[in-house]
């Protein structure tokens, strides 16, 4: 029952190029509305009075389940890739261009993508107090499976599954959704020696697709020799003593074989930020900055989502079962009904109702920035996931340090990132006029990696006003020279 779900989710995570925040650029004072999704107070520090993002995409790929041997991401174009076959001596450890597997006992699979559409921010003075207001639109996708019991490693290594195996409980969750948000930031505590900035994003969530698979207890898996005439390398695999919940909804139309875009869920989200900076009022640049951010508080409600439950039914024949293997599955619902018939003798027995909620990928972001000299800054970010709701998408934990040079018409920086506290990556960004290019994991793009399993690329196109700064604003102020 679980093999198809696990395999499908793993393949989805492997082939999808997805996104994470480009931390080096979002620490740039000129990042404007692009940084609001990362820290709602950051647009307040933009020296320019307005800022427009036309489009940006931060593309990222990482997993610890599979890899391609001795390749770079850009080098994959036109390169034939072989699937590992240990029995024929085709492995990623012995030759390049092999799609192979790590075959660890556990695998953690996480992705997130974030495409920022037309968005803007602007400065307004209300009763002699500065405010920054903004609007942003996003398309987001996230999924997470943490420490999955990797039963598939036996098949990957082409060895027989153990006669008895208990697959540990797991949870996997994925969501695809649109988001529109309002950003606002202003100063508080006017009598303080430091400048304190309060910011928030109020977001409306529009759910598109979602899937949530939870195994609540150990699943007993049994393997036996296949029947005479069947493939001797494919054992018969049976599942028993299971308790699995499946919730899903998708816009993929199995009849027309295409994706029909429509809203399937709705919800609200909130980002909050409090930032303290040490800054001369007559200067654009701060000396130090410390920011505390709570991101993605909220959830999406899918009222029409399908819920299935498989609890202690009959033993289910998973591999070599002609009722499952000889079928062409056109939809998840068709497969779930076949499983229900195997488990209960009734294809509708597993269906338990409609409607489920998925929490947003709530996290805490701490940021510290220090000015080294004019236009030069060193920045540190720590992001820790803190899922609030029981069924929440989980983003990756991050430690990031970067050094950037931030000028009006040009900016650039280098960075190092520790993802999930174990995967070390290096990158940076370059901003010139309206174009921003960057990567938090640049080496796999250009240089061959022994195990190519991660890469990152960021691009944004923005519109700025004619470059503004404190001196220009001071010169534009009206002066009564006769006094």
DSSP state, 345? S
Please give the torsion angle defined by the CA atoms of residues 95, 98, 102 and 107, in that order, rounded to the nearest 10 degrees: 160
Neighbours of 171 (CB within 10 A): 18
Per-chain mean pLDDT for the chain: 88
Burial environment of residue 300 by CB neighbours within 10 A (0 to 12, 13 to 18, 19 or more) = buried
- 463 Cβ contact list (under 8 Å, min separation 6): 51, 52, 53, 54, 434
pLDDT at 483 over 60: no
Please give the torsion angle defined by the CA atoms of residues 439, 440, 445 and 450, in that order, rounded to the nearest 10 degrees: 180
Helix (H) or strand (E) holding 460: strand 454-463
Distance CA 5, CA 234 (A): 18
Range from 83-97, 247-261, 277-291, 360-374 that averages highest in pLDDT: 360-374
As a whole number of Å, the end-to-end CA separation of the chain is: 85
3-state secondary structure of 90: strand
The pLDDT of residue 16 is: 35
The pLDDT of residue 474 is: 53
The pLDDT of residue 479 is: 54
Q: How far is CA 120 from CA 183, 231, 365, in A?
A: 10, 60, 23
pLDDT at 106 over 60: yes
The pLDDT of residue 5 is: 41
> Helix (H) and strand (E) counts for the chain?
7, 27
The pLDDT of residue 126 is: 94
pLDDT tens-digit readout, 322-375:
888 777 777 889 889 999 999 999 999 999 999 999 999 999 999 999 999 999
The pLDDT of residue 473 is: 52
pLDDT at 78 over 80: no
Q: How far is CA 156 from CA 91, 95, 102, 239, 414, in A?
A: 11, 17, 9, 19, 38
Are 176 and 210 in contact by the 8 Å Cβ rule? The answer is: yes
Q: How far is CA 103 from CA 69, 92, 421, in A?
A: 14, 12, 21
Average pLDDT over residues 290-319: 96
Q: What is the phi-psi region of residue 264: left when phi exceeds 0, alpha when psi lies from -120 to 50, beta otherwise?
A: alpha
Distance CA 62, CA 107 (A): 12
Which of 89-93, 125-129, 282-286 is predicted least confidently? 282-286
pLDDT at 450 over 80: yes
What's the CA angle centered on 187, arms 184 and 191, to 5 degrees?
165
Are 186 and 197 in contact by the 8 Å Cβ rule? The answer is: yes
Are 36 and 99 in contact by the 8 Å Cβ rule? The answer is: no
Give the confidence band of 442 by pLDDT, cuts at 50, 70, 90.
Answer: confident
pLDDT at 270 over 60: yes
Beta strands in 6-118 (DSSP E): 50-62, 66-71, 82-83, 98-101, 106-116
Distance CA 68, CA 80 (A): 11
Distance CA 12, CA 6 (A): 10
Average pLDDT over residues 277-292: 89
Which of 44-58, 73-87, 331-345 is predicted least confidently? 73-87
Q: Are strands 119-126 and 106-116 parallel, antiparallel or unpaired?
A: unpaired
- 4 Cβ contact list (under 8 Å, min separation 6): 335
Which of 14-18, 212-216, 349-353, 435-439 is predicted least confidently? 14-18
Average pLDDT over residues 192-196: 93
The pLDDT of residue 42 is: 96
What's the CA angle centered on 15, arms 9 and 16, to 5 degrees?
85
Q: Are strands 98-101 and 82-83 parallel, antiparallel or unpaired?
A: parallel
The pLDDT of residue 75 is: 83
Helix (H) or strand (E) holding 476: helix 470-476
Distance CA 400, CA 379 (A): 8
Give the confidence band of 63 by pLDDT, cuts at 50, 70, 90.
Answer: confident
pLDDT tens-digit readout, 387-407:
999 899 988 889 999 999 999
Give the confidence band of 18 by pLDDT, cuts at 50, 70, 90.
Answer: very low
Distance CA 364, CA 140 (A): 18
pLDDT at 43 over 90: yes
Helix (H) or strand (E) holding 341: helix 332-344
pTM equals 0.86
């Amino acid at each position: 029952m679980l093999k198809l779900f696990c395999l499908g989710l793993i393949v989805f995570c492997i082939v999808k190029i997805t996104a994470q925040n480009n931390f080096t650029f979002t620490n740039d004072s000129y990042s404007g509305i692009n940084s609001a999704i990362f820290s709602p107070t950051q647009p307040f520090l933009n020296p320019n009075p307005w800022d427009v993002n036309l489009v940006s995409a931060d593309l990222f790929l990482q997993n610890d389940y599979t890899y391609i041997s001795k390749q770079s991401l850009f080098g994959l174009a036109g390169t034939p890739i072989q699937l590992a076959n240990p029995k024929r001596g085709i492995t990623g450890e012995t030759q390049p261009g092999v799609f192979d597997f790590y075959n660890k006992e556990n695998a953690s699979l996480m992705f997130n993508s974030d495409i920022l559409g037309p968005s803007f921010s602007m400065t307004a003075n209300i009763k002699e107090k500065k405010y920054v207001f903004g609007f942003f639109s996003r398309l987001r996708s996230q999924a997470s499976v943490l420490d999955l019991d990797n039963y598939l490693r036996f098949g990957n290594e082409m060895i027989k599954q153990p006669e008895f195996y208990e697959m540990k409980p797991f949870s996997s969750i994925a969501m695809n959704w649109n988001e529109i948000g309002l950003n606002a930031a202003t100063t508080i505590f006017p009598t303080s020696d430091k400048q304190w900035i309060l910011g928030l994003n109020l977001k409306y969530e529009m759910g598109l697709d979602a899937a949530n698979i939870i195994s609540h207890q150990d699943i007993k898996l049994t393997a036996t020799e296949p029947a005479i005439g069947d493939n001797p390398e494919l054992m018969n695999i049976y599942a028993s003593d299971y308790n699995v919940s499946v919730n899903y909804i998708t816009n993929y139309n199995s009849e027309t074989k295409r994706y029909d875009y429509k809203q399937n869920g709705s919800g609200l989200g909130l980002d909050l930020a409090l930032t303290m900076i040490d800054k001369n009022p007559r200067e654009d640049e701060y000396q130090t900055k410390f920011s505390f951010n709570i991101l993605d508080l909220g959830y999406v409600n899918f009222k029409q989502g399908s819920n299935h439950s498989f609890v202690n039914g009959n033993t289910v024949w998973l591999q070599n079962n002609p009722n499952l293997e000889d079928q062409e599955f056109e939809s998840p619902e068709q497969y779930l009904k076949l499983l229900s018939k195997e488990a209960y003798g009734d294809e509708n027995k597993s269906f338990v109702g409609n409607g489920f909620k998925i929490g947003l990928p709530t996290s805490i972001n701490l940021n510290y920035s220090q000015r080294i000299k004019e236009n030069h800054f060193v920045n540190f970010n720590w992001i820790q996931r803190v899922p609030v709701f029981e069924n929440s998408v989980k983003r990756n934990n991050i430690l990031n340090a970067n050094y950037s040079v931030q000028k009006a018409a040009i900016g650039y920086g280098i960075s190092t990132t520790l993802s999930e506290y174990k995967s070390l990556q290096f990158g940076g960004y370059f901003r010139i006029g309206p174009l921003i290019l960057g990567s938090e994991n640049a080496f796999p793009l250009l240089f061959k990696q022994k195990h190519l399993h991660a890469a990152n690329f960021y691009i944004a196109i923005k519109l700025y006003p004619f470059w503004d700064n404190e001196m220009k604003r001071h010169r534009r102020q009206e002066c009564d020279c006769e006094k």
